[in-house]
Amino acid sequence: MLTITQALYDQIVAHAREDHPDEACGVVAGPVGEGRPERFIPMLNAARSPTFYEFDSGDLLKLYREMDDRDEEPVVIYHSHTATEAYPSRTDISYANEPGAHYVLVSTADADGLGDFQFRSYRIVDGEVSEEEVKVVEAY
């Protein structure tokens, strides 16, 4: 189960809506080994695409160095789908290389009248996708 604060949930949703019609992407870091998302880090979608996201390699290297310096790890890796449901694509699954992370997908298809808004979380390990419950809390 992903337990996330209302504030972080709102920040992820706002970023997804802000970048629409392009996919938004980012990370929520937390203390190593605790599995608690704390620090919201919106990233630039280097692909600038409505159907694909890509972290800039320089930005990603900088982020991992910063997290290492702060004894953090990526607890949530998120991105949006702009015209489809919030379910990992084959590409999303192939790029999922953090087995301990929660992969959050936000569908902003509702912004175009193409579907309902969705905020869903998955574990993706060795190509296997498992959806998990999302619990939104006021504080930890």
Residue-wise pLDDT tens digits, 78-112: 999 998 889 999 999 999 999 999 999 999 887 65
Q: Give which of 117, 95, 88, 90 is closest to 17, Cα–Cα.
A: 117
Record the pTM: 0.94
Residue 30: other Cβ atoms inside 10 A: 19
Confidence band for 14, pLDDT divided at 50, 70 and 90: very high
Q: Which helix (H) or strand (E) holds 14?
A: helix 6-19
Q: Residue 122 corresponds to which amino acid?
A: Y
